[in-house]
Amino acid sequence: MNPQIERNGTSSVNPATGETFAFHPFVPDGDLKELLADSHTRFIAWRATPLAERLEILRRFADGLRTERDALAREATLEMGKTIASAGGEIDKCAAVIDWYVERAPQLLADRPVPVPSGKAHLAYEPLGVVLGVMPWNFPYWQILRAAVPITTGGNFFLVKPAENTMGCGALLQKLAEKTGFSRAFAVANLTKEQCATALADTRIVGVSVTGSVRAGQALAQLAGRNIKKSVLELGGADPFIVLADADLDVTVKAAVSSRFSNCGQVCIAAKRIIVEDSVRDRFTRDFVAAVKDLEPRDPMDEGCFIGPMARIDLRDTLHRQVEHALSEGATLLAGGFPLNRPGAWYQPTVLGNITQGMTPFTDELFGPVASIISARNADHAIELANDSRYGLCASLWTRDEDQATRLARRIEAGGVFINRISASDPHLPIGGIKESGFGRELTEWGLYEFMNVKTVWHA
């Protein structure tokens, strides 16, 4: 059991100090039916609300995010150790995704005429109902809102369960929603796993959006399938960061450090497997290791801090066991490799070399500040290694040859390929995975239509 989960609720624990500072009770079992009924009632009213009015409420919510930016950022730093600068940037991104939908929703939700052999036809986009969201802790605002904004823009209601250790962030979103009117389409609830299962079996819940571990995705997708409910899953990743021989190594090394160690390495689309062509492996490794050794875990409240603690002590301990297991398999420790001797969930930024197929860092997701370097004979071998994974979220490819990059990108088995840039989620592009990284898409029109009834209307 995670230290944040207690018998009657969850606790907020500062991972920089190990101190508990808040308690959040679970929704009483007796109140769950009322919560679901209320969510459905709000959906009926929200669906009937003119789009222009819905968008105005979203606009007010975005303004509220910008006004409350500092308080929201501070809570994220306190609850999961995100650096204060990164937390502020996360709030900015949440407001930006609302801007994207407010600007484009009238066009995206308008009836779309379709040429047909006879008569006339159009597609209509209609909301389905109440969608359950089960969200993670690593981006406690962005993960919730990148799902919530398109879902509610389309006229659905979004009932979200935040992660146990970031319920304080969820509570702040709830307060802001009530203040701005967004609570007409959005509610936060501290639900247990059993209550989530009960909700998915209820006819008033039409689907579930999950971001989290493969295990969580499997369980919730199974429940959704059993009840014939739509699910969208964004799960784990072991994303390849492919460095070809002609890459600009100075730029690539800096990008690799940023991609792997931002948010203390706790990013689904981080550069987890760094695959480097043999001819440049030694130089890349030398420069990369030197840069990682310069990283100094510091107080995440410091504006200049790049890397703070991990989010939880149990996660830190799991990561360390994975590192030790990798070393027993034959990996080479090039930097770090140990928890820091201070209160909280601190771990020294780590680099593992000599990683080959079948080793733990190659096959599993290491969710923390640990980079794994893998050698490739050539570009074709690099793609083969990249695809040798049960995951398929994103990939990053570094080369000066744009034509080659475009060809190779088509061969990479992933939901997104980023050429000469680190993997990122952005309001302008859909995000999602294949294989065990999940299915469905978030953001842009693809995310908007996931929980919509795309209705065919054909006149004689």
Average pLDDT, the chain: 97
pLDDT at 284: 98
pLDDT in tens, 222-278: 999 999 999 999 999 999 999 999 999 999 999 999 999 999 999 999 999 999 999
**Averaged pLDDT, 401-416:** 97
pLDDT in tens, 40-76: 999 999 999 999 999 999 999 999 999 999 999 999 9
Residue of 169, 268, 305, 394 marked active site? 268
Q: Which CATH class is domain 240-430?
A: alpha beta
Residue range(s) in the chain whose domain bears CATH number 3.40.605.10: 9-235+437-459
Res. 398: pLDDT tops 70: yes
Q: Buried (b) or exposed (e) across 396-425, using 16+ Cβ within 10 A?
A: bbbbeeeeebeebbeebbbbbbbbbebbbb
Confidence of residue 138 (pLDDT cuts 50, 70, 90): very high
pLDDT at 6: 75
Tell me if residue 234 is catalytic.
yes
Res. 1: pLDDT tops 50: no
Phi, psi of 443 (to 5 degrees): 75, 160
pLDDT in tens, 158-194: 999 999 999 999 999 999 999 999 999 999 999 999 9
Residue range(s) in the chain whose domain bears CATH number 3.40.309.10: 240-430
Cα dihedral 363→366→371→374 (10° resolution): 0
**Averaged pLDDT, 94-109:** 98
Residue of 75, 79, 164, 234 marked active site? 234
pLDDT in tens, 339-360: 999 999 999 999 999 999 999 9
Q: Give bridge partners of residue 352 from the DSSP assignment.
A: 333, 372
Q: What is the model's pTM?
A: 0.96
Q: What is the 3-state secondary structure (H, E, C) of the chain?
A: CCCCECCCEEEEEECCCCEEEEEEECCCHHHHHHHHHHHHHHHHHHHHCCHHHHHHHHHHHHHHHHHCHHHHHHHHHHHHCCCHHHHHHHHHHHHHHHHHHHHHHHHHCCCEEECCCCCEEEEEEEECCEEEEECCCCCCCHHHHHHHHHHHHCCCEEEEECCHHHHHHHHHHHHHHHHHCHHHCEEECCCCHHHHHHHHHCCCEEEEEEECCHHHHHHHHHHHHHCCCEEEEECCCCCEEEECCCCCHHHHHHHHHHHHHHHHHCCCCCCCEEEEEHHHHHHHHHHHHHHHHCCCCCCCCCCCCCCCCCCCHHHHHHHHHHHHHHHHHCCEEEECCCECCCCCCCECCEEEEEECCCCHHHHCCCCCCEEEEEEECCHHHHHHHHHCCCEECEEEEECCCHHHHHHHHHHCCCCEEEECCCCCCCCCCCECCEECCEECCECHHHHHHCCEEEEEEEEC
pLDDT at 422: 97
Percent of the chain whose pLDDT exceeds 90: 98
pLDDT at 367: 98
Tell me if residue 268 is catalytic.
yes
Q: Which CATH architecture has domain 9-235+437-459?
A: 3-Layer(aba) Sandwich (3.40)
pLDDT in tens, 304-336: 999 999 999 999 999 999 999 999 999 999 999
